[in-house]
Amino acid sequence: MPGATEQKIIDAAVRLFASQGYDATSVQEIVTAAEVTKGALYHYFRAKDDLLFEIYRLLITAQSADMDRIIELGLSSADTVREILVSLVVSTAERVDETAVFVREMHRLDEARMTEFRAERRRYHETFLGVIEKGQADGEFSSAVPADTVVRIAFGVVNQLPVWYRPDGPKPPARLAGEIADFVLAGLR
């Protein structure tokens, strides 16, 4: 539960990292945009890359929770896949900047944090994979295309979303999410 100053710093960092990149954004720019000073930033964060870590943590925690919640509903495989995709696309559209930073700058994490994140991503990845494999085993989905490729395709669109999605574009996020889910499910028949 970050305080007001902490939150202002993170918000400014996300916005600047998303538009210019991590290295191209100086600490001075961040504090100026957040209307605080360097003293305040280094009071709350030990180093610049703690900001990156915090951004990732917030994003991945929220997404993991969403997926777990959906799976516990115990829907059919098709409905589970649809719900996961829709929730993922909608929540990604709501947080395009965070996602853009995450996708572009993940490799800048140090060894320890990288390992931690890879484990979390892997868990996330394999949960979704499990849903599709179950649907294939039950005969609800076709087995023509291996499940891992389907997962790659699904996450591919989502992670590229910050590249082309614009909040003021013609299609609202919910409609986009529906179209993407339709297409993936069509491919699974």
User: Minimum CB separation from DNA for residue 108, in Å?
Assistant: 12
Among 37, 76, 142, 143, binds a copy of itself (CB under 8 A): 142
Q: Which does 115 bind (CB under 5 to 8 A by kind): a copy of itself, DNA, none?
A: none
Q: Which residues contact 136 (CB under 8 A, 6 or more apart)?
A: 142, 143, 147
User: Minimum CB separation from a copy of itself for residue 71, in Å?
Assistant: 23
User: Minimum CB separation from DNA for residue 118, in Å?
Assistant: 23
SS3 (DSSP) at 144? coil
Amino acid residing at 61: T
Among 20, 81, 124, 131, binds a copy of itself (CB under 8 A): 20
SS3 (DSSP) at 79? helix
Q: Return the number of the residue (40 or 103) whose C-beta is nearest a copy of itself.
A: 103
Q: Which two tokens stand for residue 187?
A: 């491919």
- Cα 18 versus chain centre, distance: 13
DSSP codes, 86-120: HHHHHHHHHTHHHHHHHHHHGGGS-HHHHHHHHHH
Instruction: Decide: is 126 part of the binding site for a copy of itself (CB under 8 A).
Output: no
SS3 (DSSP) at 133? helix
Among 68, 79, 138, 182, binds a copy of itself (CB under 8 A): 182
Residue window 162-181: x/- pattern of binding to a copy of itself, with contact defined by CB under 8 A: -xx-----------x--xx-
User: Minimum CB separation from a copy of itself for residue 97, in Å?
Assistant: 13
Q: Return the number of the residue (80 or 162) whose C-beta is nearest a copy of itself.
A: 162
CA–CA separation, 163 and 107 (whole Å): 18
Q: Which does 84 bind (CB under 5 to 8 A by kind): DNA, a copy of itself, none?
A: none
